[in-house]
A and B are shown apart, each in its own frame.
Chain A
Amino acid sequence: MITPSPTDTPPVLDMTGITKSFPGVKALTDVDLSVSAGEVHAIVGENGAGKSTLMKILAGVHGPDRGTIALDGEQVHFSSPLEAKAHGIGMVYQEINLVPDLSVAENIGLGDMPNSAGLVKRKALSQRAQEVLDQLGTRIDPQQLVGRLSVSQQQLVEIAKIYARQPRIMVLDEPTSSLSQHEAKALFSVVERMRAKGIAIIYISHRLREVLDISDRVTVLRDGRMIDCRPTAGLTPKEMITLMVGRDLDDVFPKREVEIGQPVLEVRELTRVGLFEDISLTVRAGEIVGLAGLVGAGRTEVARAIFGLDRFDSGSVLIDGAEVTVRSPKAAVRAGIALVPEDRKRDGVALSLTVKDNIALPVLDQVAAFGWVLRSQERRLAQKKAEDLYVSPPVIERTVATFSGGNQQKVVLAKWLATNPKVLILDEPTRGVDVGAKSDIHTIIGELAAEGVAVLMISSELPEVLAVSDRVYVLHEGRLTAELSRADANEESVMTAATGEVAAP
């Protein structure tokens, strides 16, 4: 079969003028995407550029506010993921959705078991699975339990499962993010075979080299807009990065001049096998240090390990030059470390409790005598912290669930500032937060640094990292790839290091 040239065949998929808003955020504005049969079409962009939203619209998870979707020239409308599936849209997500206790064949056949009167025809089931696996050129035993397979093999089974339903369009969302380069090769040959069968493939990846190797065309998204759609041939990684980040920095984050003191937090060769390796970093008093990197680079994992929420295999954490054992959050708090976690609803707040109860949680012993809570002291502390952080309304007896996302985030900050930390680690402190709360949070971070707190901030929003930080470390696949001074850090230098385009320093 000859691979048709993507430009002269009519597109299988034609999405035009797709616009989608969520409360407070315009996720997509007027985005076009057209994909032809037998084409591998890559979509690239920074975190939050709108890639996932676009794919969720294609998959029928969200409906677009405006815009149309056409399959083979015929306009369609998906009101549910099932409908999209019925129209031949196959989605392979980052997470693996397989049942580990069933065999490969059973997983591939799930949802469409060959049966007679409700009894599964085992032979037909494994035959069909074998066929699918053969077509994809993989050598996985259909009788093997999925739980026994490696992650990369599971990923292939996941693809096989979707492929078995004979989709017209196949979306691969970051399929290689958990694979080594060698394992990724096996995946690429599967993608090649699917392309040869005439399936239209949408390929989302942060690994730019990979995109260049495998795709026919690239669509670049930025801030929910389509920036460009070009043939891959002739593009360089540098050009792609420029397209992805090329925007003007507006001066929304005023940076305060603060005197920088002695090292407060020192992390030495911190390693957790499989997640991050050999992480050494230093944060000084009054300094705001950014920890940049793409989603999945290991930033959150490093932060959680420093705070004692997750274990690490080797390395050490020093506060004020002395090694501390941070095997639990309790020990970390005692050492003067605070962490505003990434997942607010999961690790940050107890939604059914009041603002007061949440703020007082890590400092109960400060407002209690022999285990007896002194309620007036507790109230005073909570009230003060809530007001310091502009929690609005500053009503501390209300349950946190009744506050907006931005104010919930301020409650989390208030809680941790109540501990008077020497080191404050912020993991995506402004994610999902409205503009007003965001600027409040930036002001607070600046004030804290001015008071001599050492701040380590993780953010997927590059402009935020660049504007707030005195120094930036960049992580790529669990390793530090760059340490940039404020002067050297810009969108290109950070993105270059974040995509692994430079060797480790």
Chain B
Amino acid sequence: MTSTSTVPPRATDEKRANKLLGGVALPVGILGLLIVGSLLSEQFLTTRNLTNVVINMSIVGIIVVGMTFVFIVRGLADLSVPAMVGIGALLALGLQPALGSVLAALVGVLAASLAGLINGLLIGYARLNPVITTLATGTIVLGVAQAAVGGVIVYGNDPELQAFLTGRLIGVPVIVLIFLAVALGGHLLLSRTTFGRWVYATGSNPEAARASAIPLQFTKGAAFWMTATLSGFSGVLLGLTLQTARPGVGAGYEFDAITAVVVGGVSLLGGFGSMPRALGGLLLVTLLSNIMVLNGIPTESQGLVMGSLIAAAVALDVYLRRRGGAS
């Protein structure tokens, strides 16, 4: 029982320092990487390279938006992302000859969305473990997709759409604009709507949320449904920009999205974090890997760096939580 007026000064200083650490670490890290990157390589601070960084961010960024909801609602993580990306890309290209590009893309998103609905029902309403459930649905969806296309590469045939997506609109790559729109929508949904409040409350204290008449099951389920839908959408975009897809095209995206969210300081324990934080984490991670690539660091060592970064971010989160007194 710490009454606010009786907290000794040292403890308040400590709290302030912790708050600073939690809020400032990310911008400082990004700034630091920009400086280090430009010192290490002349190519780093070129428009061309930074444009590449932002484009690279966009595809996984759309998934990060969903994954942020999953984290804050205390849903642990969605491991069905690669399957949803895969099914989106495969259907968008595979159905092109039959349905046309737009309709095929729509079917791609809807298929992932439907699978996401199953995730949501199983996790939200049947209260199954999210990690196991998404692992299972992901494996099933990927299996079906593989069987459907025969496990080979699918090619698209719509160079015009490809050119549009990889081109620019008012000077900004179209794909980046799409990502920014999704990010803004996700940010507003999380921070400004009743649903967003439900997400935070459910993640912070599910029992109290239930006692406060919050639709717990819906909220949790919706977070997973959103993530799958956005992953499918991301897969469609990926397929259309490459005009080629194989079932395994989404491999690793779940890891990238989780890394970004965790590094952004969104708590795995739920109830804390924000869209800007998660996207800041994404920017930091993308910059870091860009710098490593530019400086010719071998892929194996990159894994080591990324893994350490995640471990450090999780450790910091747990440390700050303990200090903050919230369990």
B271 & A352 in contact (Cβ 8 Å cutoff)? yes
* Chain B, 1-17, CB within 8 A of any chain A CB: 1-4, 15
A401 & B197 in contact (Cβ 8 Å cutoff)? no
In the complex, whether B212 has a CB less than 8 A from a CB of chain A is yes
> What is the minimal beta-carbon distance from B14 to any residue of chain A, in angstroms?
13
* Chain A residue nearest in CB terms to B214: A361
Knowing A357-B200, A403-B4 touch, does A329 contact B194 (C-beta < 8 A)?
A: no
In the bound complex, CA of A339 to CA of B4 (Å):
26
Q: Which residues of A contact B48 (CB under 8 A)?
A: none
- Grouping DSSP codes into helix (H, G, I), strand (E, B) and loop, the A interface class, with mixed when no group exceeds half, is mixed
Q: Which residues of A contact B210 (CB under 8 A)?
A: 309, 329, 347
Which of A307, A348, A401 contacts B325, CB < 8 Å?
A: A401
In the bound complex, CA of A328 to CA of B216 (Å):
11
In the bound complex, CA of A362 to CA of B208 (Å):
10
B1 & A24 in contact (Cβ 8 Å cutoff)? yes
Interface stretch (choices A3-11, A173-181, A371-379, A472-480): A371-379
In the complex, whether B316 has a CB less than 8 A from a CB of chain A is no
In the bound complex, CA of A443 to CA of B32 (Å):
55
In the bound complex, CA of A329 to CA of B211 (Å):
6
In the bound complex, CA of A191 to CA of B212 (Å):
45
A362 & B212 in contact (Cβ 8 Å cutoff)? yes
B201 & A350 in contact (Cβ 8 Å cutoff)? yes
A346 & B208 in contact (Cβ 8 Å cutoff)? yes
A402 & B212 in contact (Cβ 8 Å cutoff)? no
Knowing A352-B271, A393-B4 touch, does A371 contact B194 (C-beta < 8 A)?
A: yes
Q: Which residues of A contact B110 (CB under 8 A)?
A: none
Q: Which residues of B contact A348 (CB under 8 A)?
A: 208, 211
A371 & B195 in contact (Cβ 8 Å cutoff)? yes
A404 & B207 in contact (Cβ 8 Å cutoff)? no
* Interface membership of chain B positions 197-225, coded 1 if the CB is closer than 8 angstroms to chain A and 0 otherwise: 11011001101111111110000000000
* Interface membership of chain A positions 7-43, coded 1 if the CB is closer than 8 angstroms to chain B and 0 otherwise: 0000000000000000110000000000000000000
* Chain A, 345-372, CB within 8 A of any chain B CB: 346-353, 357, 360-362, 364-365, 368, 371-372
In the complex, whether A293 has a CB less than 8 A from a CB of chain B is no
Q: Which residues of A contact B51 (CB under 8 A)?
A: none
A353 & B200 in contact (Cβ 8 Å cutoff)? yes
Q: Which residues of B contact A434 (CB under 8 A)?
A: 1, 3
Q: Which residues of A contact B155 (CB under 8 A)?
A: none
Q: Which residues of A contact B324 (CB under 8 A)?
A: 352, 399, 401
Q: Which residues of B contact A372 (CB under 8 A)?
A: 192-194
> What is the minimal beta-carbon distance from B316 to any residue of chain A, in angstroms?
16
A349 & B214 in contact (Cβ 8 Å cutoff)? no
B1 & A405 in contact (Cβ 8 Å cutoff)? yes
In the bound complex, CA of A130 to CA of B1 (Å):
47
* Interface membership of chain B positions 160-174, coded 1 if the CB is closer than 8 angstroms to chain A and 0 otherwise: 000000000000000
Q: Which residues of B contact A393 (CB under 8 A)?
A: 4
In the bound complex, CA of A365 to CA of B215 (Å):
13
B211 & A350 in contact (Cβ 8 Å cutoff)? no
Q: Which residues of A contact B211 (CB under 8 A)?
A: 307, 309, 329, 339, 341, 347-348
> What is the minimal beta-carbon distance from A406 to any residue of chain B, in angstroms?
8
Knowing A329-B213, A362-B213, A432-B1 touch, does A350 contact B208 (C-beta < 8 A)?
A: yes
Give the interface of B toward A (CB within 8 A): 1-4, 15, 192-198, 200-201, 204-205, 207-215, 271-272, 324-327
Q: Name the 10 nearest CB pairs between A and B, nearest first.
A: A350-B204, A404-B3, A330-B213, A350-B205, A401-B326, A361-B212, A364-B194, A352-B271, A347-B211, A333-B213
Contacts A347-B207, A401-B324, A401-B326 supplied; 8 other A-B pairs, CB < 8 Å = A330-B213, A357-B201, A364-B197, A365-B194, A372-B194, A404-B1, A404-B4, A407-B4
Jot down 16 A-B pairs with beta carbons below 8 A, ordered by A: A309-B211, A328-B213, A332-B213, A347-B207, A347-B208, A350-B205, A350-B271, A351-B327, A352-B326, A357-B197, A360-B197, A361-B214, A373-B197, A399-B324, A401-B326, A432-B1
